[in-house]
Amino acid sequence: MEINGGSQNPMTLIKFGAKEGILITGGEYWRLLTPIFLHIGFYHLLTNSIGLFIFGRYAETLFGKKSYLTIYIFSGIWGNIASYFYSFALGAGASGALFGIIAAYASYLISNRESLGEYGRQTLTGIILLIFINLIFGFTIDGVDNFAHAGGLFSGLIIGWILSPKITSEIVSISSEIPTFVEKKKSIPKSQSTWYVLIIITIILFYVSINWISQNFYIRLLTN
């Protein structure tokens, strides 16, 4: 993007697939996906990359590669749909997807709060504080797409709750001269059928939401 005019140039952003309301309404629905992989300037790319490096590793380890990718892509799209509904501005960035990853991690901690104990509560408190600070920061700084953040956040909470592995405990024996039994915790992933149902329902909701927003886009544009 920098070679082709600059990643902060509006025309370059549009050329590479940024979110743009009129073009989406005209049928370029792929623009709700491609902005996840674009960034506006080096600082934007750097901050999101740091966040993804920190939280992405946890989420990928906990959920598995397939569910992690599902959370990332779907949260990013829902973030762009929310932005498309509330804002006509040009948009790009992985922030919505990143908020989705963080929210999914929070869902994992909530759904396994009894098994994770104090560690889970402290970690969840830290995540809630981090999300709150970022949302407040977004509302006080121009150019931050808080609607994309909110869309990614709420969708990440829901998808993460659906796909969160469940921690269970079992008593196992240790081979030794004296019979010894210990409690062992293990993580049980959600079934394949849950993942398939989530994919189908989400695609249907994508279609319904985008179709409704597109039908009302120009009406909202004229009234604003």
Per-residue pLDDT at 181 exceeds 80: no
| 149 in catalytic set | yes
- Confidence band (pLDDT; 50, 70, 90) for 223? low
Instruction: Write the burial class of residue 87 (CB in 10 Å: 0-12 exposed, 13-18 middle, 19+ buried).
Output: middle
Q: What is the mean pLDDT of the chain?
A: 87
Backbone φ, ψ for residue 60 (5° rounding):
-65, -40
Q: Can you give the pLDDT at residue 97? A: 95
For residues 69 and 138, give the distance between their C-alpha atoms in angstroms, rounded to a whole number.
25
Per-residue pLDDT at 108 exceeds 80: yes
- Confidence band (pLDDT; 50, 70, 90) for 170? low
Total Cβ atoms within 10 A of residue 41: 13
Among 155, 44, 151, 56, which residue's Cα sits nearest to residue 93?
44
Q: Which of 67, 75, 83, 95 is catalytic?
A: 95
| 44 in catalytic set | no
pTM: 0.87
Q: Which of 7, 149, 155, 164 is catalytic?
A: 149
Q: Can you give the pLDDT at residue 198? A: 94
Task: Count how many Cα atoms sit within 13 Å of the Cα of residue 134 in the half-sphere of its side chain.
Answer: 22
Interval 103-123 mean pLDDT: 89
CA–chain centroid gap for 81, Å, is 12
Strands (E), the chain: 166-174, 180-188
Interval 76-91 mean pLDDT: 90
